Structure 1
Amino acid sequence: MDLQQIKDAVADVLPATIEDLVKLVAIDSISSSAEHEHKVRESAEEVARLLREAGAQGAEIVEAGGKPAVIAHFPAPEGKPTVCLYAHHDVQPTGDPDQWTSEPFEATERDGRLFGRGTADDKGGFAAHLAALRAFGGKPPVGVTLFIEGEEEIGSPSLRALIEQHSDALRADVFVILDSGNWEVGTPALTTTLRGLADCTVEVRTLDHALHSGMYGGVVPDALTTLCRLLATLHDAEGNVAVEGLHSATAADLDYPEDRLRAETGLLEGVEWIGDGSAVDRMWTKPAVSVLAIDAPAVADASNTLLPVARAKVSLRVAPGDDADRALQCLRKHLETHAPWGAQVSVVDGETGQPGIVSVEGAICEKAIEAIGQAFGTEPVQIGMGGSIPMIADFQSAFPDAVVLVTAVGDPDSRQHGIDESLHLGDFAKAATAEALLLAKLA
């Protein structure tokens, strides 16, 4: 098939594929919720069914003590390489559904975008794989393995075990991880660096029981105020991370216009940026610390009480080139040694995910750049990713001789993890076309 034939074939299968994506979005496969465990399984079963229907010779649901994933195979013609296509079928919680313009799990098209939880992250990624396979009538010109994970949104805790147990089934010459972001609508990207992730829970104790704030306030420190002061030490006055021992790197020389960044983030008027250096350095190659949650009484339920204990969950984004486990210990040491007023501090380590550096050198990467450029009409921008995709490092470790490519269907307006997540349908078609072109070029 030549370029135009592939474009036409993808266009022919897109309407049915989008219909299947709408049905998949309707399954609220929230992996972080125990109440939705059956929905994650239902989603895996639907993914397996769609792949069998598309011509896979075996689509198996697999587990390794975690959430269900799907492995499916389209065997390689004689002498042809094998490509493993990755996406995930689990999704984030919706937040307050009343803040959504339309129902989160009823995919709705508006102004050329499909709105709904998972449309861009990452059921849309799976749908792009599906469209590329359907464009070849279920008989791609190279071998194709699909690995559709079910727990990416909770840090992929059983992924390493899955890779170990199914390494022969997953082994490939090329891995295409379709779970990143494009530079902007109409401009594709290849992700070359990714920050890692580490988190912990810190608990502060100052009293052995609660006290009346009027009787003892001004003499004893309450735990919540003490915790706030401890958390404030994580940054300097300019907003740079103040944890000693963390690694930083330098991003590509790429201009991220301030007006675009302000529009994308919704930064309120008068609120200043934090940190020093270029925007891409701060978002992609420097560490970042965020306080995700604090255990404290709700304002509506508050009383005049000095709290004896308070807790917070702290998240650390780990710079490319650093080690997530080592970085977590740096964070732990900071929290344990910066408590004011002699407060007792305990830290419980959470999950870690390694950062990644993805090369775009070599013949296969050149083919990928060419395929993406032909599909989008412009070559991909090489970008970093501030968010974590820890499985990239896991794939690189398990299959060191394979080429890893990190591509996307989403864009800065997709609002992955946020309210009104959406997929640009024009870019979705181009992403599916780019993948089909890549499979043809690899043959």
Structure 2
Amino acid sequence: MSDDIRGKVQAVLPSVRADLEDLVRIQSVSADPERLSEVEKSAERTLELFLAEGVDAEIVRAFDGAPPAVVGEKKGPAGAPTVLLYAHHDVQPENDPADWDSPPYEPTERDGRLYGRGAADDKAGIMAHVGALRALGDDLPVTVRLFIEGEEEVASATLPQLLEQYQDRLKADVIVIADSGNWDIGVPALTTSLRGLIRVDVEVRTLTHAVHSGMWGGLAPDAIMAMVRLLDSLWTPDGAPAVAGLASGPAADVEYPEERLRAESGAIDGLSWIGEGPAVERLWTQPAITVTGFDAPKVAGASNTLSPVARARVTIRIAPGDTSENAVARLEEHLRAHVPWGAALQTTVVDTGEPIALPAQGPAYDAARAAFAEAWDGTAPVDMGVGGSIPFIAEFLEAFPQASVLVTGVEDPDTRAHGANEGLHLAEFERVVLAEALLLRNLGA
């Protein structure tokens, strides 16, 4: 039976790839108001793909004008488990096309990879679901339900409302979230933990207006000076977070070789790592603090004045076991205690997302591990942490507390999701489609 499924997957792969390329050509950038029609087009094409596989599906919205999602169902045998398949059809902006080696919305194969925005994140996740259904055909061993979101890249604002409105149509025994990745080429993974995040805008003001640096410099502190001193307090001398009260914990026992760390991170020669402890703990189960934006006068055209105000966006990736509420409170507490020279401080929470630690055990995980090992020719999957965040997983856990949640995906260490030259490793994608078909078979058994 396994050889039969493998052969069916190989038979449908050309059509699956062609459909993936069609999806990539749709510029479904949910963050761009001028391309919302493309997001609609992407939802319509996604709907067509699943209707063609016998899924009773439709486009739904939380309210008129909200982003489009695709919801559907294809029934399996009576009494079989129900499996919800998740992916998202919206994509990140391409940013500067000049940074790409080929046009971002024209799928292009080079050296075994298919390049294009969304080729991996997450239109390949959609096509992994389509490919598994296409291969299994009418021999579907489980009831499949479907949720393909259209706003994941803009924080899934209406997702809780959709889960509540369509709970009866989305409820499942197992939820497969195809929006993560694998440990390496040839080594599959199940993502079992993800960090959460908080983003907080910090404003420091020292003066009511700008003044001449020659007249007042040396007496009045400028806002940039105060902000630099405040931001510096966020880290210890070795670069570890200095904000007290943030949680951290152990990570899976996985070796991350030094040469691979340097190659995948893009570290320059001679760069020293920050923090302490095993690399996977620093990346997966310890907090990390980053300044992701800074408002101040530009160097070009800067005048000789003391800046009255400066702003920075501080992002903290929070470890499993922590909460966004605690992280916000601890950060604000730290900032108040360290703002220098009596400067006025203001903080604004931009958004938050909760960390996740999944209980990676039980029949669904047994079925997944067996399917992955079979698809990767005997290589067992790694239980992998992810340093990034997928906040919507918490929404699924809250809406369906009895379901087993499996976080899978198509990405590999060189996918470059969200960046220029995003690419899908085609040989790994074949294994991903096969693994999902085998997983559905195992769950049905």
TM-score bin (small chain): over 0.9
- Contact 2:173–2:404 (CA under 8 A) maintained in structure 1: yes
Give CA deviations for 1:362-405 in whole Å, capped at 9, x if unaligned. Answer: 12211110011101111101110111111222211211111111
Which secondary structure does the structure 2 equivalent of 1:228 belong to? helix
Q: Which sections of structure 1, spanning at least 5 residues, go unmatched? A: none
Query: TM (normalized to structure 1)?
Result: 0.97
Q: Identify if the C-alpha distance between structure 1 residues 40 and 332 changes in structure 2 by more than 3 Å, giving closer, same or farther.
A: farther
Which secondary structure does the structure 2 equivalent of 1:102 belong to? coil
Correspondence list, 1:60-71, <5 A: 60-64=59-63, 66-71=66-71
Instruction: Report the Cα offset of residue 325 of structure 1.
Output: 2.0
Correspondence list, 1:179-328, <5 A: 179-328=179-328
Question: Which shifted more, 26-35 or 74-83?
Answer: 26-35
Instruction: Report the Cα offset of residue 139 of structure 1.
Output: 5.6
Question: Which shifted more, 189-198 or 222-231?
Answer: 222-231
Task: Supply the AA of the counterpart residue of 2:381.
Answer: P
Would you say 1:329 and 2:329 are equivalent positions? yes
Task: Supply the AA of the counterpart residue of 2:416.
Answer: R
Give the match for residue 10 of structure 1: 9
Instruction: Report the Cα offset of residue 422 of structure 1.
Output: 0.7
Q: Identify if the C-alpha distance between structure 1 residues 224 and 33 changes in structure 2 by more than 3 Å, giving closer, same or farther.
A: farther
Instruction: Report the Cα offset of residue 297 of structure 1.
Output: 2.6
Give the match for residue 418 of structure 2: 417
Instruction: Report the Cα offset of residue 56 of structure 1.
Output: 1.1
Distance 1:400 1:266 in 2: 39
How many percent identity over aligned positions? 52
Distance 2:372 2:227 in 1: 49
Give CA deviations for 1:201-233 in whole Å, capped at 9, x if unaligned. Answer: 111111111112222222212212221221111
Give the match for residue 143 of structure 2: 143
Distance 1:296 1:151 in 2: 31
Q: Identify if the C-alpha distance between structure 1 residues 63 and 422 changes in structure 2 by more than 3 Å, giving closer, same or farther.
A: same
Instruction: Report the Cα offset of residue 327 of structure 1.
Output: 1.2
Which secondary structure does the structure 1 equivalent of 2:411 belong to? coil
Instruction: Report the Cα offset of residue 119 of structure 1.
Output: 1.3
Which secondary structure does the structure 1 equivalent of 2:424 belong to? strand
Distance 1:66 1:196 in 2: 25
Q: In the comparison of the two structures, how many residue pairs are matched? A: 442
Correspondence list, 1:21-420, <5 A: 21-64=20-63, 66-137=66-137, 140-377=140-377, 378-420=379-421
- Contact 1:62–1:71 (CA under 8 A) maintained in structure 2: no
Would you say 1:427 and 2:428 are equivalent positions? yes
Q: Identify if the C-alpha distance between structure 1 residues 313 and 96 changes in structure 2 by more than 3 Å, giving closer, same or farther.
A: same
Which secondary structure does the structure 2 equivalent of 1:254 belong to? coil
Distance 1:396 1:299 in 2: 47
Which secondary structure does the structure 2 equivalent of 1:340 belong to? coil
- Contact 1:133–1:139 (CA under 8 A) maintained in structure 2: no
- Contact 1:191–1:407 (CA under 8 A) maintained in structure 2: yes
Question: Which shifted more, 397-406 or 69-78?
Answer: 69-78
Which secondary structure does the structure 2 equivalent of 1:408 belong to? strand
Instruction: Report the Cα offset of residue 344 of structure 1.
Output: 0.5
Which secondary structure does the structure 2 equivalent of 1:260 belong to? helix
Query: TM (normalized to structure 2)?
Result: 0.96
- Contact 2:43–2:59 (CA under 8 A) maintained in structure 1: no
Distance 1:295 1:57 in 2: 50
Distance 2:182 2:92 in 1: 20
- Contact 2:23–2:42 (CA under 8 A) maintained in structure 1: yes
Instruction: Report the Cα offset of residue 349 of structure 1.
Output: 0.9
Instruction: Report the Cα offset of residue 287 of structure 1.
Output: 0.6
- Contact 1:131–1:432 (CA under 8 A) maintained in structure 2: yes
Q: Which sections of structure 2, spanning at least 5 residues, go unmatched? A: none
- Contact 1:48–1:61 (CA under 8 A) maintained in structure 2: no
Distance 1:320 1:185 in 2: 26
- Contact 1:57–1:75 (CA under 8 A) maintained in structure 2: no
Give CA deviations for 1:45-66 in whole Å, capped at 9, x if unaligned. Answer: 2211211122211222323574
Instruction: Report the Cα offset of residue 9 of structure 1.
Output: 0.9
- Contact 2:199–2:315 (CA under 8 A) maintained in structure 1: yes
- Contact 1:45–1:61 (CA under 8 A) maintained in structure 2: no
- Contact 1:336–1:347 (CA under 8 A) maintained in structure 2: no
Q: Identify if the C-alpha distance between structure 1 residues 219 and 168 changes in structure 2 by more than 3 Å, giving closer, same or farther.
A: same
- Contact 2:125–2:179 (CA under 8 A) maintained in structure 1: yes
Would you say 1:442 and 2:433 are equivalent positions? no
Distance 2:301 2:429 in 1: 47
Distance 2:189 2:347 in 1: 38
Distance 2:153 2:237 in 1: 32
Distance 2:412 2:382 in 1: 13
Distance 2:290 2:194 in 1: 17
Task: Supply the AA of the counterpart residue of 1:292.
Answer: T
Give CA deviations for 1:49-107 in whole Å, capped at 9, x if unaligned. Answer: 21112221122232357422211211232111110011111112223221111111111
- Contact 1:32–1:153 (CA under 8 A) maintained in structure 2: yes
Instruction: Report the Cα offset of residue 138 of structure 1.
Output: 5.9
Task: Supply the AA of the counterpart residue of 1:30.
Answer: V
Task: Supply the AA of the counterpart residue of 1:265.
Answer: S
- Contact 2:121–2:179 (CA under 8 A) maintained in structure 1: yes
Instruction: Report the Cα offset of residue 299 of structure 1.
Output: 2.3
